[in-house]
Amino acid sequence: MKTEDRYLKFVLWDEADQCYVGHCPDLFPWGGVCHGDTEEKVFHQLRILVREEIAELSRAGKEIPTPATRAMREAVLA
């Protein structure tokens, strides 16, 4: 498994901006880091940004954050 695959990455529709926004909370905790017209394009761009961030941290000798954010299933009440 590649290091980048360990991080939760997701794309959400932003009603206010009328576009999709890409998130990776463990590497970019301040919020969305890319946006676009389609989920596919944004997710592709997000994967590139995650890969680049990990490479940059490694080159700089900085600690790569431990992946901690996990997807949760929404509870369904019976």
Full-prediction pTM beyond 0.75? yes
CA 57/CA 64 separation, integer angstroms? 6
Q: Which amino acid is at 32?
A: G
Domain ranges of the chain: 3-59
- The pLDDT of residue 75 is above 80: no
72 pLDDT exceeds 70? yes
Q: Which residues, 6+ apart, have CB-to-CB distance to 45 below 8 Å?
A: 22, 34, 36
Residue by residue, DSSP assigns 19-73 as EEEEE-TTT-TTS--EEESSHHHHHHHHHHHHHHHHHHHHHTTPPPPPP-----P
Q: What is the predicted pLDDT for the residue at 48?
A: 97
pLDDT the model gives residue 77: 61
pLDDT digits (tens, 9 = 90+) for 30-63: 999 999 999 999 999 999 999 999 999 999 999 9
- Which numeric CATH code is attached to 3-59? 3.30.160
